[in-house]
Structure 1
Amino acid sequence: MLKVAIIHDSPIPTPSAKQLLTSFIKRGVETLYLRISKLSVEVNDRGIIVNYGKHKGLTLDSAIIRGLGTILSTEVLFKRLDVLKGLELSGVFVVNPPDALLTARDKLLATLKLKSCGIRVPRTTIVEDVYEAVEVVRKWGIVVIKPLMGSLGYGSVKVTDPDVVYIIARTWLIHGQPLYIQKFTRVKERDIRVFVVGDEVLGAIYRYAPPHSWKTNVAQGARVEKAIIDEEVKEIAIKATKALGLLYAGVDVGEDEDGYVVYEVNSAPQWGGFMMATGINPAEKIAEFVINLLKK
C-alpha cells in the first residue's frame, strides 16, 4: 500500500489538507498529516533519516507540501526546506520539490527565472536605498512594493507618491527588508488565477478586487467567477509552472496594454475560491497525478 503524508504546520489540517487526505484515502492510500515544525533530519551511518517528533525514521512514498508554516527567521526557513530535501534525497517523492518551493517563495528569483524563460513579467527592481526607491516611483509612476517573501497579498502596497515611498522605504530598511518594486500596469480590476497540475490546466477564475481595494486576493475579499481562457493563457500558465520546477501551481496572470503578464506562481495555492467558481476540486487531480507517477 502506498503511504503519503500531507505536510503543513497548522495544528489542525486546513481545508485543502483535509481534501487531499480524503482524496488519497478513497484511492486506497495510507495517509498521514504532519506538522513541518515537528520534522527533523538525522545523518548517520545508515544514511539520511527523517524523524517526526519522537517517531524515528519516517517511511513514505510521497509527501505533499501544503505550507512551510510561520517563518520568523531565515534559519527556520532553511531548516524546514532542508528537512524536506532530506526526505527527497532519501527517496520520497516530494510535491512540490524543495528547490522549487524556495524558488517560488522568493519573488525576485521567481521573476528572474520566468523572464529567462521568455515569460512576460512586470517591470521589476529591488533596492536597499531610500533614494533609489524614490527615484523608481518618480520614473515609473504607479508601483507596487512587496515583501520579498509573502503570501495572500499581505504587506503589498500600491504607491504613486515619492514621499510615501520614502516613508515606506525608511521603515522597511530599518527592519532589514529590501524593497522589491514592480511597475503597476494592470488595465482591469481583476486578474486570472490558472490552476495547473502536471501538464494539465484544470481551469481558471477571474478574481475581482473588492470595493476600495486594488488587491485581487480571495483572502482579502476578492470576488471570483469562472473564467474561460484562451490557449495562450493556458500555455503561459504551464510554461510558468515548469519554469520554476513546480509539479502543480496557481499561476496569477494579469492583463496590460501589451497582453498577458505573469505576476506570481504559487507553489501551494489555496483553492477555496477556485472550487466555488469552477466546481473542480484540485485535491482529486493532485491525488491522481501523484499516484500515477508513483506507480510508474
Structure 2
Amino acid sequence: MNKPDAMLLARDKFASLMRMKNAGIPVPNTALVEDPFEVMRLVEKWGEVVIKPVVGSLGLGSVKVSDPDIAFRVAKAILSVNQPVYVQKYVRKPDRDIRVIVIGNKVLGSIYRISKSGWKTNIAQGAMAQILVPDAELEEISLKSVEVLGLDYAGIDIIEDMDEGGYKIIEVNAAPLWNGFMSATNINPAKYIVEYLIEKIRR
C-alpha cells in the first residue's frame, strides 16, 4: 500500500533521516562519506560510532566502532564494493529501543525491544519484546515521521538518549516485520492495514 517513491525514500536510511531532520524531528548525528580518512575523523570527533549499510535490515552488517584505525578498515571494505559509508554517532541508551507501529494517522501500538546481550536490539538478533504504552511525545514524533516520508504505514525505531534526554529516531521501516510486536501486544497489524486500505479505496 505504501507508494513506491515513499518506500524507496524510507529504504535509503540517510536520505530519510535527513528529510526528518529538516522537518525538526530528532535524529542522531549522521554522515554519508566516501573517504576512509573522513570516517576516522568522525570517530575522533564523536568518540563512538555505528557504521551500517545505507540499505539494510535486521541489524545485519551494523558495527559499533570507537577505534579510528578499525573504522578506517571497515570503511575501506565498504568502499571496495562501491558503497558509501554511513556513519552515525552512537547514542548511549538503555539496553532497549522502541518500535512504534503507525497505520494512517494513528499509532497502533508500541513495544520495547530489549537486548539480551550487546547493543543491538533487533528482534531478529535475539531481543525480547515487551509492550509499551506510548507517551504523547513518542506518538507525536512517530506520526510526524510517517507524514514527512509520505508513508501509509510504518515501523519506527526510536531510542531514548541517556545523555541529552528525549527520543531520537534511528530509522523508519516502510515494510516492517511485526512478529515481536504481535507477541507482546496480541495485535495483528495486517488486519488494520487492510481496514485502512479499504477506507482509502472508499474515499
TM-score, normalisation: structure 2? 0.97
Matching residue's letter, 1:101: M
How far apart in 2 are the matches of 1:234 and 1:127? 32
Please show how residues 141-180 of structure 1 align to structure 2 within 5 Å. Answer: 141-180=47-86
Cα distance, 1:265 vs. partner? 0.4
Aligned residue in 1 for 2:15: 109
Please show how residues 62-101 of structure 1 align to structure 2 within 5 Å. Answer: 95-101=1-7
The C-alpha deviation readout for 1:52-96, integer Å capped at 9, x for no partner, is: xxxxxxxxxxxxxxxxxxxxxxxxxxxxxxxxxxxxxxxxxxx11
Aligned residue in 2 for 1:269: 176
Aligned residue in 1 for 2:129: 224
* Mapped pair 1:283 → 2:190: yes
Cα distance, 1:169 vs. partner? 1.1
Please show how residues 106-255 of structure 1 align to structure 2 within 5 Å. Answer: 106-211=12-117, 213-255=118-160
Aligned residue in 2 for 1:72: none
How far apart in 1 are the matches of 2:80 and 2:188? 43
Matching residue's letter, 1:145: I
Runs of 4+ in 1 over 6 A off after TM superposition: none
How far apart in 2 are the matches of 1:141 and 1:241? 31
How far apart in 2 are the matches of 1:174 and 1:148? 15
How far apart in 1 are the matches of 2:200 and 2:36? 49
How far apart in 2 are the matches of 1:172 and 1:232? 36
Matching residue's letter, 2:132: A
Aligned residue in 2 for 1:71: none
How many residues in Structure 1 have an aligned counterpart in Structure 2? Answer: 201
Secondary structure of 2:133 counterpart: coil
The C-alpha deviation readout for 1:174-222, integer Å capped at 9, x for no partner, is: 11111110001132111110000001101100001122x2111111111
Residue segments in structure 1 that go unaligned for 5+ positions in a row:
1-94
Q: Alpha carbon RMSD of aligned pairs, Å? A: 0.8
Residue segments in structure 2 that go unaligned for 5+ positions in a row:
none
Specify which structure has the bigger relative contact order, considering alpha-carbon pairs within 8 angstroms and separated by 6 or more residues. 2
TM-score, normalisation: structure 1? 0.67
* Larger of the two Rg values belongs to structure: 1
Cα distance, 1:270 vs. partner? 0.4
How far apart in 2 are the matches of 1:187 and 1:215? 11
- Percent identity over the alignment is 52
